[in-house]
Amino acid sequence: MSTTEQKILSRKQWAGITILGLLALFALLEWALNDADPYQQNLIRYFAAPSWQEPLGTDQFGRDMLARLGAAVRLSFALSLLCVVSAASIGTLLGVVAVWGGRSADTALNLLVNTLMALPGLVLVLLLAALVPGSFLMLYLALSLILWVEYFRVVRAISFSLKSSPQLQASYLLGFGRWYLFRRHVWPNIAPAIITLAAFGAANSIMAMAAVGFVYVGLKPPTAELGLMIVELFPYYSDAPWVLAQPLLVIFLLVLGFNWLAGRRHPLANEN
Amino acid sequence: MRKIFWNRLLQAALVAWGVGTLTFVMMRSLPGDMAYRIAAGRYGYDNVTAAAAESVRTELGLDQPAVVQYFNWLGDLLTFRLGHTMVSGAPVIGEVQHQLGHSALLAFVALFFSILIALPLGIFTAFRQGGWLDRGTLFVSSLLRSLPVFVVGLVLILLFALELRWFPVAGFGSVRHLVLPALALALTLAAVSSRVVHESTYQVLQSGYYQFARLKGLDNTAVFMRHGLRNMLVPVVAFMGVQLITLIEGIVMLESLFSWPGIGHGLAHAIFARDIPMIQGAALVMGLAFVVLNALIDLVCYSLDPRSQLT
């Protein structure tokens, strides 16, 4: 663990952390301080200009935009966090299993991965979303299902070269347990790649949720979700461009923050 | 060479199986009795009788156990009997063929634009590593890759269609309709690929064999054409394989945004309308196209890099 934590973050990564921190702070403060209900319509006050009551104005149904943006940011963070944690743990576990679990486990897992990679991720997410329309749980399962493959491939590739390394063999012969071997020898080698993948995965899951919302097959209205908000506000562009600009800016900042946090190139980008 | 072929063939079979299984589950999980629903589709809702539903049931084998139906379903899929769409009643295969052509046009033009942007920009900035253009493109690329492709398309619509009125907002018909969706996709692709071109070129320029060729006395153009270009292209073409995912996902999103009558638009609409035969046809064709394009990239890499032909 210590070897990875000693590394100082680059300036870009700090910038990413700052952006994400501010967004998280916004989401939390909004939740704690703003009493407005993101679903409460007030049809007389549609597209009201910003005021002390509604600092970011209101949308086409007179709903408080501040409350809706806060809810949408919390939803995006929650989904990306859930997806990344599930995908990283499953991918790492199966990657280790593929290397140390014998040839048949490796073959079976590779067949599974090849099947998943044969369809573009978004198409698979769309198909699974079609199975149970409008379900957050299904969206979470579908995104985790396509994301774990990356962790699996990276962990498998790195562990494979570690398997016969002298230090690992020595520890094994000294009788150390599996968990110790993983923590002492495998984890420090895969951790940097896992963290980079996690940041990219968070950005991807946020973009994917917005994308399926945008084509009306993701979460259903009136949920405050960034993609849905964009597609619902788009027809009112000429009436209220500043309201449409808000979800656009938020999704840009979320993805930018995670991309900068990743810091390096995607570990699989150079692979054939 | 043969290995590439068999791997991709296996993948194609897995795509067909995966799509077929998912849509079969989707079909079974629809509410109501399927025989009554199909009978209603055939004879109209007022003319459905128990006898009509029974005849449909025996004709289509709906009274058989689920496992048998599952294999029938997969058998139909393998012989490309994709059925009729539930919305217009037209055969799925014709619809899909029609849409695939439009999508291919959009994808091809977008890819062409992206190469037109990325290749000169990447190579030029590699020769001037750290110059203002290099830092500028790096910055723009990092902003652009933080925008989902539909947001890029939306911003282009706002800018060039609604404000400047240079191009139509959406639709299909003339060349002018093609510009904005193709440009949106090309920008998204070039944001990443221009940096890949840059890095790959820079590595070649720093390499021993390139420096040696310069020392021999070849001029800049000759040495790049003879020793640089091919070496630098191998990682770039391989990266295009990675970008195929971006390309296909971009097609799905942008066709929906611009009402482009392609296969992504078809898929999104079919899902919205719960039109299962159409979902199956569109997803199947998209998955197969993905596998075929990947195989093509494999072949180009194979012919570009003689080292891979030794094994």
CA distance B218 to chain A (A): 30
pLDDT 10s digits, A95-142: 999 988 888 999 999 888 988 888 888 888 888 888 887 888 999 999
* Mutation for A interface: B19, B24, B142, B150, most A CBs within 10 A: B150
Degrees (nearest 5) of the Cα angle A42, A48, A49?
155
What's at A36, amino acid-wise? Answer: A
Contacts 24+ apart (CB under 8 A), B27-34: B27/B73, B27/B276, B28/B66, B29/A131, B30/B274, B30/B276, B34/B62
Interface contact flag, B154 A248, Cβ < 8 Å: yes
CA distance B176 to chain A (A): 22
pLDDT 10s digits, B25-78: 887 777 667 777 777 767 777 777 777 778 777 776 777 777 887 887 788 777
Give the chain B residue nearest A272 (alpha carbons): B238
Average the pLDDT over each of A89-93, A198-202, A203-207, B206-210 and give the range with the smallest value: B206-210
Interface contact flag, A214 B244, Cβ < 8 Å: no
pLDDT 10s digits, B269-283: 888 877 888 888 888
What's the whole-model pTM score?
Answer: 0.85
Interface contact flag, A256 B143, Cβ < 8 Å: yes
pLDDT, residue A1, reads: 40
List all residues of chain B from 199 to 258 with a beta carbon under 8 Å from chain A: 235, 238-239, 241-242, 244-245, 248-249, 252-253, 256-257
Interface contact flag, A119 B18, Cβ < 8 Å: yes
List of chain A residues whose C-beta atoms are within 8 Å of the C-beta of residue B287: 118-120, 123
Degrees (nearest 5) of the Cα angle B282, B285, B289?
135
Interface contact flag, B147 A119, Cβ < 8 Å: no
CA distance B215 to chain A (A): 30
Residue A64's SS3 state is strand
pLDDT, residue A22, reads: 94
* Mutation for B interface: A12, A13, A126, most B CBs within 10 A: A126
Cα B248 → chain centroid: 2
Give the chain A residue nearest B197 (alpha carbons): A270
List of chain A residues whose C-beta atoms are within 8 Å of the C-beta of residue B146: 203, 252, 255-256, 259
Q: Which residues contact B228 (CB under 8 A, 6 or more apart)?
A: B201, B204, B205, B210
pLDDT 10s digits, B112-150: 999 999 999 999 998 888 889 999 998 899 899 899 999
pLDDT-derived band at A269 (thresholds 50, 70, 90) equals low
* Mutation for A interface: B26, B253, B296, most A CBs within 10 A: B253
For A227-251, b/e burial (b = at least 16 CB within 10 A) is bbbbbbbeeebeebeebbebbbebb
Q: Which residues contact B182 (CB under 8 A, 6 or more apart)?
A: B106, B109, B110, B113
Could you count the other beta carbons within 10 Å of the beta carbon of residue B302? Answer: 13
Whether residue B234 contacts residue B301, with contact meaning beta carbons closer than 8 Å, is answered with: yes
